Structure 1
Amino acid sequence: MLTTRFKSVAEASSSQQTGRTYPLERLSDDKSKDLFFEKIFGGNDPNPNEFRDTKYEILKKCGGLPLAIVAVAGLLARDRKSESHWMKVHTSLSSELEVNLTPEGVTQILNLCYNDLQADQKNCLLYLSIFPKGYSINRKRLVRRWIAEGFIIEKQGKTVEEVAEDYFNELISRNIIRPVDHNSNGKVKTYQVHDMILEYIVSKSSKENFITVLGGHWHTATPGNKVRRLSLHSSDPDSAKSEIENMNLSHVRSLTAFDSLERLQSFSFKFGILQVLDLEGCKGLTEIHLRKICKMFHLKYLSLRKTSIKKLPSAIGKLIYLETLDIRETNVEVLPDSVADLKQMAHLLGGNKSTRAALRFTDGIAKMTALQTLSGIGISQRSSRALGGMHNLTKLRKLSIYSIADFDKHNQKYGDLLSAIEYLSGCSLKYLAVDDGFTGFLDLVVSSSSPPKYIHTLELSGKLPKVPQWINELKKLEKLTLSLTSLRTHDLFVLAQLPLLFSLTFSVNAARQDHSVMKVFLRNTMDSRGNILIPSDGFHSLRLLRFSAPVLPLLSFLEGAMPKLQRLELRFKVLEGAYGVENLVSLQQVLLRVSQQASETTKVKVSDIRSSVRMHPNKPTVVVDEYY
């Protein structure tokens, strides 16, 4: 099956394959109205008689075209209660639209949406043309790049990061970008841009010489003047080389390459004023490239993520303006000592979350006192001298430790690490993730006398003997992940009182690495009489609940339990059952991940859950898949 917006393409394809063309009909009046008000009000119009004629005249001008309806609705949602705003939009839309909504008419609507943005928001929107058609773009990647480009300034007492997040959310609320995936805390993780909107943005960006796109689906005209930002999509290397050699690249501020660096081999790879270099996933990155990158002295953002590099040159320390260094999913295990000179480094991202490969914590990292994000690090005996310096990272908002090795619980350096975490938790730290690698470090964390009271996200992985006794003091906690060897109904009654808890995950996957974990878990399952009760009171903010264990005891959701829970995920080899799913009044989705080795009894339990979910008045979706 082929889908296309172009009638000529459809007819050509149909004649070649003796197929038929099926032109999509525009939305009916009722469906147009439903979509229109859903995008503006999140449901039905709460005041249907309020400036009723204006509403329906605007809707009529959208001509039943979903993109037009969504775009105009996003514009109206900005000030949905103001009649003057509705009248302004109505006046701005040509009366010709309702008769024949041509591509030019859609462009008129998109122009209206674009011109309604502030100047710096327009820059942020045009910047989306860097990415290929259909590409899922990571929110944090985009936001950090906006900041490095200088599009964002502090305002109204907010940091540049907070302002950038506001701009991103504004693009979502205006229906300009579409969320694809969410983090477990509810924030958008990745997004896409509708093809026609992206086509408009690329065209606008090219006309203003804002971004030059080479290769891929879009191919902007080679600018007659200097290239400011260059985005290389996948294309024929020979033709790309030829075009690049004819460009004036002396003023390139931003370079993004997708797929391969082969086309850049033909010239010197020198960009004197480059501020953003994003080579995520690129093939062909060599030591020669790295040495030349270390001479790009104005760099603020450098991503080498998912490349094959094994180490960075010591000259990396010369990039004194660098704010973001992303070396996740590479083979880099340790940074050179010269990184101590990177005094403006705010986000250092390393390691591999899937494999738990980690970037060694060193003295050089401990001297990066501007750090806000330190992700994917490993603590070992080689890090012991640097641990005392961790106290200096007082601006740290996110700390993610992927591994702890070569220690035992009686080692003094354990105390140094715990002391640093306790100290930083009283400063700016909002996100803390620790995987102790079964070394026993979490024993100290659980018994700490200084809990991280201001933390928003807490992830404790490895061998966690019990729910920390201080957990009920974390009144700001939104996301909690615990790898437990013990889970009791009492623990859930305690956690139920956390007022802002949005996401809750329990896991005992550590059993694959430590047989004693499994034994303790089974014993505790017996102690709980094989039944975990989810209380009828509390969990007032919880949207996501995950259980992951080889053996899941019987889960009983009492009437009134978790009133806002939308998604339930269970991963298991053996399942005793799940009762009371119908009591989850806001449930929208159930995901069951079942081991391929599951018994017939467990498969019957899965069938029972599916049946009970089908009876739920919300008609939640049920997804069942298998894992090895």
Structure 2
Amino acid sequence: MELAVGASEATMRSLLGKLGNLLAQEYSLVSGVRGDIQYINDELASMQAFLRDLSVVTEGHNHDNRRKDWMKQIRDVAYDVEDCIDDFAHRLPQDSISDAKCSFILTKMYELLTWWPRRDIASRIAELKVRAQQIADRRNRYGVNNPEHCDSSNSPRPRAHAAAQDIAEYQDTKPQIVSIKEPVGMKTVMENLEKWLTEPQPDKGRAVLSIVGFGGVGKTTIAMALYRKVSGKFDCQASVAVSQNYDEDEVLRSILNQVSKQEEAGGSTESSSRDENTREPQGSSSTSSREENTAESGTKRMLNKLKKALPLSLLGGNDDKTSVRQQETMGSLQLREELKRRLAEKRYILLIDDIWSAKTWNSIIIPFLPSENDKDSRIIVTTRFHAVGSTCSPRHKNDEATSSPGHGKDLLHKVDFLTGDKPLDLFNASIPDPMKRTDRDKKLSKICGGLPLAIVTMAGLVACNPNKANSDWSKLCESLFPYPVTTLNLDGVTRILDCCYNDLPADLKTCLLYLSIFPKGWKISRKRLARRWIAEGFATEKQGLTEEEVAEAYFNQLARRNLIRPVEHGSNGKVKAFQVHDMVLEYIMSKSIEENFITVVGGHWQMTAPSNKVRRLSLQSSGSKHGNSTKGLNLAQVRSLTVFGNLNHVPFHSFNYGIIQVLDLEGWKGLKERHVTEICQMLVLKYLSIRRTEIAKIPSKIEKLEYLETLDIRETYVEELPKSVGQLKRISSILGGNKNTRKGLRLP
């Protein structure tokens, strides 16, 4: 397995810049510390060069446990140095230093007042210097040698970019490169499936199309294409990814929210305004109020659990449709009941993606479907397992029904590996038109074994290496798969993904690994991701481009390489949202774990607790069988926290508020006013999103967040910002307003 060096090298590059800035400061350093910092800087620079060399080492040459362990030590010390430098910047702000230069007396006062933090940081830097020395000595002691003797000409993978990528080339990527992908070579099949979905059934009842096939074979692409084409012919539509591990409430709530929003957009008489009488009381700042809240909290929790367990009919909610706010607090029983009522008199189409078991279909999906619906409703299901498809479509007659759509009430369509000319057709359709077609294309498409995911990913590799000689591509094919490939197994997919990943520049590797923060099947907002990349320092000004333009260029290049899948466009033709294929996400998740880059708790992944410090934490809701506990994790070094779903608890007390830079709590209904007050103590915070939460007020203490660049309070109940927001000198984006209440945000 190729050593993961992408995120490590990017972290090292960022750190070297910070060390250089620190060395340039005259009044900040305690005597003797400058030499230690210079030593650490020089050692890390040499280590960075070593990491870059490692990124082009071939498998089978020096990929031993010694080198992996040594790389881990480099990464850990780099992370700790970065924490120390960031703490230095926080405790010794440079604005004060600049002012102190005006007077000798003020300078001495500044040195006196900051003596203790400077001495503390000096001690930590001395310890880090010793660690850097030990790591350097250990390399020679245990024979971790340079990989100079490795012959890269026989490498099974393209060499990583040693020089900086010319990102301006990708700034104005053509729209068709990042367009939503449609199935290739399936015109007749798609026409038949579309006809079956739209033609009325004899009894006008619900019918189910199950699409079955191996992972990466194109099931979701087919399902999404059909869904986009025919959904406008139905009264309402909703799509959701279920996968192996799921949160039942979140699946049901996602479908209900989509249906509800369509009703409101269609002129529904349902009131979506904020109901002050139903809002939970916020905690008071007085001592007596806190005591009352503490005494009553147990009773309230019991009442809330009871409400979630009771049908809406017993709670007096059967006559009127529920508000969006009420839906967020419903339990599974209430969600099913509400969905059944809303869908009863509508012609609906649902897309249920990636179902793993018949139990999921029978216990989650079937219970909310109206039993008496004669509107010719349709459901599209994708699954890897034939038995699951047969359960979802029990009334199908044969697996070849697409050639004769009239057979059977339901339909089961099996997607096989591509054969004949179809792999080459898909390959050619996945690279830009101006590129010259050669024998290279046929060879590369052939080694992909007819698997669409492998084909389009390899095509993306070709698209980003237009000047590579045909002989080099031939060597690549032979080294990847020395023997003829008929169908591709999981190991073969991993080889191809390895090949494409190792061709990425270090910056793009980091940006790609960052996507493992998001849950499986998540629709990721392009703008949200770009702002987060900037806050993390992954997208910085370069080559005359702004941070935003660099982030846009990175996104376009990932899309051009077919490593991400655009799923939604804006009116201007730009991609609004995208997804990461399950198999690609699983691959980058393994890389993130290897580098201790992302730690995921809950969700679809069963991750073992890391033995070292957590840097970026993703908390994801999961089913009752899968806990999301952070017990046993060292959270003191968390720099980025993201929450997905309705978690009962987020361990704020475990975090070091002085180093958190990204806090994304979008959609977390457990957020309270007291949490926002605590957030105002995260003094180096750059990105804060409390979108779609229950918050109604931003405290004036927000002025303490002097590094804040993005504040996202959309779809909350905040209608006015405090005047202290004007003190945020670095703020570049304030996003507010609530579409549900149809109220905007008033600036001070």
- Shorter-chain TM band: 0.5 to 0.7
Displacement, 1:263? 2.5
Displacement, 1:80? 2.8
The structure 1 residue matched to 2:549, chosen from 162, 168, 171, is 162
Q: Deviations over 1:168-192 (max 9, x none)?
A: 0000000011111111111110001
Instruction: Indicate yes or no: 2:454 matched with 1:68.
Output: yes
CA contact (8 A) 1:61 1:95 kept: no
* Structure with greater strand share of residues: 1
Instruction: Indicate yes or no: 2:519 matched with 1:144.
Output: no
What is the Cα-based RMSD across aligned positions, in Å? 2.7
The structure 2 residue matched to 1:126, chosen from 493, 502, 513, is 513
Match for residue 27 of structure 1? 418
Q: Deviations over 1:223-249 (max 9, x none)?
A: 0000111111112579646x3121100
Displacement, 1:358? 1.4
Displacement, 1:88? 5.9
The 5 A counterparts of 1:284-299 are 284-299=670-685
| Cα distance change, pair 47–254 in 1 and its aligned pair in 2 (3 A) | closer
CA contact (8 A) 1:250 1:272 kept: no
Structure 1 distance, partners of 2:503, 2:479, is 11
Q: Deviations over 1:338-383 (max 9, x none)?
A: 2122101011111135754111122xxxxxxxxxxxxxxxxxxxxx
> Which residue identity is paired with 1:38?
A
The 5 A counterparts of 1:178-257 are 178-235=565-622, 240=627, 243-257=629-643
The structure 2 residue matched to 1:300, chosen from 672, 682, 686, is 686
| Cα distance change, pair 273–66 in 1 and its aligned pair in 2 (3 A) | same
Structure 2 distance, partners of 1:100, 1:239, is 34
Displacement, 1:128? 0.5
Displacement, 1:12? 5.5
Displacement, 1:28? 1.9
Structure 1 distance, partners of 2:466, 2:670, is 51
The structure 2 residue matched to 1:282, chosen from 665, 668, 689, is 668
* Uncovered stretches (5+) of structure 1, i.e. residues with no partner: 363-628
Q: In structure 2, the residue corresponding to 1:263 is in which secondary structure?
A: coil
CA contact (8 A) 1:110 1:197 kept: yes
The structure 1 residue matched to 2:734, chosen from 339, 348, 352, is 348
CA contact (8 A) 2:521 2:579 kept: yes
Q: Deviations over 1:65-95 (max 9, x none)?
A: 1011000000001133542564464355322
CA contact (8 A) 1:252 1:271 kept: no
TM-score by length of 1: 0.53
Structure 1 distance, partners of 2:578, 2:458, is 20
| Cα distance change, pair 142–88 in 1 and its aligned pair in 2 (3 A) | farther
CA contact (8 A) 2:604 2:622 kept: no
TM-score by length of 2: 0.45
Percent identity, aligned pairs only? 55
The structure 2 residue matched to 1:117, chosen from 504, 508, 519, is 504
Structure 2 distance, partners of 1:193, 1:254, is 21
| Cα distance change, pair 219–272 in 1 and its aligned pair in 2 (3 A) | farther
Structure 1, 265-274 or 332-341: larger mean CA deviation: 265-274
| Cα distance change, pair 269–81 in 1 and its aligned pair in 2 (3 A) | closer
The 5 A counterparts of 1:199-598 are 199-235=586-622, 240=627, 243-264=629-650, 267=653, 271-352=657-738, 356-362=742-748
CA contact (8 A) 1:40 1:77 kept: yes
Match for residue 59 of structure 1? 445
> Which residue identity is paired with 1:256?
T
Q: In structure 2, the residue corresponding to 1:256 is in which secondary structure?
A: strand
The structure 1 residue matched to 2:431, chosen from 40, 60, 73, is 40
* Uncovered stretches (5+) of structure 2, i.e. residues with no partner: 1-209, 216-355, 358-383, 400-412
Q: Deviations over 1:509-535 (max 9, x none)?
A: xxxxxxxxxxxxxxxxxxxxxxxxxxx
CA contact (8 A) 1:245 1:267 kept: no
Structure 1 distance, partners of 2:430, 2:643, is 35
Q: In structure 1, the residue corresponding to 2:565 is in which secondary structure?
A: strand
* Structure with greater helix share of residues: 2
Match for residue 580 of structure 1? none
Structure 2 distance, partners of 1:182, 1:201, is 25
Structure 1 distance, partners of 2:649, 2:631, is 10
Structure 2 distance, partners of 1:88, 1:315, is 61
Aligned length: 356
> Which residue identity is paired with 2:738?
N
Q: In structure 1, the residue corresponding to 2:593 is in which secondary structure?
A: helix
